[in-house]
Amino acid sequence: MSGLKHPLISRAIFPVAGKGTRFLPATKATPKEMMPIVDKPLIQYAVEEAVGAGVSELIFVTSSTKRAIEDHFDSNYELESFLKKQNKHELLALVQNVLPQGASCTYVRQSESLGLGHAVLCARTQIANEPFALLLADDLIHHEAESCLQQMVSAYEATGCSIIAVQEISVSESEKYGMVAVEPQANSVFRITSIVEKPKPQDAPSNLAVVGRYILTPKVMAHLVRVQQDKRGEIQLTDAISSLLQDEPVYALKFKGVRYDCGNKLGYLQAIVSYALAHTEVGSEFENYLQGSGRVSKDFSRLQKK
Ligand code: UTP
């Protein structure tokens, strides 16, 4: 016996089978999750966050155009021996550590894009009836002391229940998010009383929006099986969580950190600028570039003329 009150969160699901239509044509043959923030793909940030929070089994729900993700986390013998021959040891270590030590990968196919809920259901066998983490890599969350998932693991350890990351938004944006109604609770943790997918602002139950980090108990799978496709033909995870609320408490955590919605162009660009400014190699030069007397607007007008 480990003496732990609740099972460890050792597995994480990464649904990466979406079509990424907001980034076409870039995502025609390349997964959205492989788009870089400066020099690291979105999916690698999510994997590092999961492993940093104690996860060791990484379950990717993929589709036919997502081979690049499998390749990214596999070893690349040819590249490694090339870097060795060139004595590029730092780069070699970088490439060899893309998959963090001790972590293993499983790939499950989602053969039809039937939505996030369906993608999660595809990994039902792999979670082995244990609580699991779920990370949407296009939500990039910058943190100071503890990552968003680490904060959620602490909340899970305190409650033994499902935890959903939420942030305050302007209610006018509610149609882009799952929105929750909550009862107040200790420390940024709230018991969810209802959850609804993309409500109109006048129907939003609060200003708390769900972002792409979850810890879910395995019971959610039994609810997902029963969820019907919505008008767009998708199986919504939100509907399964709403139904799970009838069986057991589910909590929302207002996490500390800055979330970038890299699933849309503006959020992606904002993330690149922030991460580039903080980048050890190019940060200060990039800052000089941005501050340089009207340089950005000059470059911009030159580009516009092309
Ligand atoms: P999104 O709602 O961002 O959809 O999915 P999308 O297809 O990736 O992007 P757009 O809206 O067409 O631009 C949220 C997450 O759920 C995954 C996506 O890969 C993303 O991580 N997803 C979505 C699946 O794995 N399967 C699906 O059928 C739908």
Per DSSP, 183 falls in state E
The response to whether residue 41 sits with its C-beta less than 6 Å from ligand 1 reads no
Give the span between the Cα atoms of 164 and 145, in whole angstroms.
19
Best residue among 43, 69, 116, 214 to mutate for probing ligand 1's pocket (most ligand atoms within 8 Å of CB) is 116
- 56-84: per-residue pLDDT in tens? 999 999 998 778 999 999 999 999 999 99
Ligand 1 pocket, 109 CB below 6 A?
Answer: no
Q: Furthest-apart CA pair in the chain: how many Å?
A: 69
Q: Tell me what pLDDT residue 3 has.
A: 57
Is residue 108 lining ligand 1, measured as CB closer than 6 Å?
no
Pocket test for ligand 1, best of 14, 30, 32, 227 (most atoms within 8 A of CB): 32
Ligand 1 pocket, 213 CB below 6 A?
A: no
90 phi, psi to nearest 5 deg:
-65, -45
Q: Does ligand 1 lie within 6 Å of residue 30's CB atom? A: no
Does ligand 1 lie within 6 Å of residue 263's CB atom?
yes
Model pLDDT, residue 1: 43
Atom of ligand 1 nearest to the CA of 115: 28
CA-proximal residue: ligand 1, atom 5 (nearest)? 18
Q: How far from 154 is each of 7, 53, 127, 233, CA to CA, in Å?
A: 13, 10, 20, 36
Q: Which residues of the chain have pLDDT under 70?
A: 1-3, 186, 293-295, 297-306
Q: How far is the CA of 241 from the centre of ligand 1 (A)?
A: 18
Q: How many CB atoms lie within 10 A of CB 269?
A: 12
* Cα 244-247-253 angle, rounded to 5 deg: 55
pTM of the model: 0.94
- Token code pair at residue 163: 């935890």
Interior/surface letters 149-179, b for 16+ CB within 10 angstroms, e for the rest: bbbbbbbbeebebbbbbbbebebeebeebbb
**What pLDDT score was predicted for residue 38?**
97
SS (H, E, C) 209-260: EEEEEEEECCHHHHHHHHCCCCCCCCCCHHHHHHHHCCCCCEEEEECCCEEE
Under 8 Å between Cβ of 48 and 150: no
Q: Is 22 in the pocket of ligand 1 (CB under 6 A)?
A: yes
* DSSP at 174: G
256 CB less than 6 Å from ligand 1?
Answer: no
The proportion of the chain whose per-residue pLDDT surpasses 90, expressed as a percent, equals: 87
Nearest CA to ligand 1 atom 1: 18
**Cis before 25 (ω within 30):** yes
Cα–Cα distance between 279 and 262 in angstroms, integer?
Answer: 18
What does the pLDDT read at residue 65? 77
What are the pLDDT digits (tens) for 155-176? Answer: 999 999 999 999 999 999 999 9
Q: Assign domain 11-263 to a CATH class.
A: alpha beta
Please tell me the distance between residue 284's alpha carbon and the centre of ligand 1 in angstroms: 35
Measured from the Cβ of residue 31, the count of other Cβ atoms closer than 10 Å reads 24
Return the structure tokens found at 219.
């019971």
Tell how far the Cα of 114 is from the centroid of ligand 1, in angstroms.
Answer: 9
